[in-house]
Amino acid sequence: MVIESLESLRDQLRVFAKNREWDQYHTPKNLSMALIAEAAELVEHFQWVEGDKSHLLEEKTRRSVEEELADILIYLVRISDKLEVDLYEAAERKLAINERKYPADKVRGSAKKYTEYEETDD
Q: Domains of the chain (ranges plus CATH)? A: 6-49+57-107 (1.10.287.1080)
Per-residue pLDDT band at 118 (split at 50, 70, 90) = low
Phi first, then psi, for residue 105 (nearest 5°) are -70, -20
d(CA 97, CA 101): 6
Average pLDDT on 35-41 reads: 98
C-alpha 3/C-alpha 12 separation (Å) is 8
Which of the four pLDDT bands, split at 50, 70 and 90, describes residue 116?
confident
- Residues 42-100 have pLDDT tens digits of 999 999 999 899 999 999 999 999 999 999 999 999 999 999 999 999 999 999 999 99
Q: Which of 73, 95, 68, 64 is nearest to 8 (CA)?
A: 73
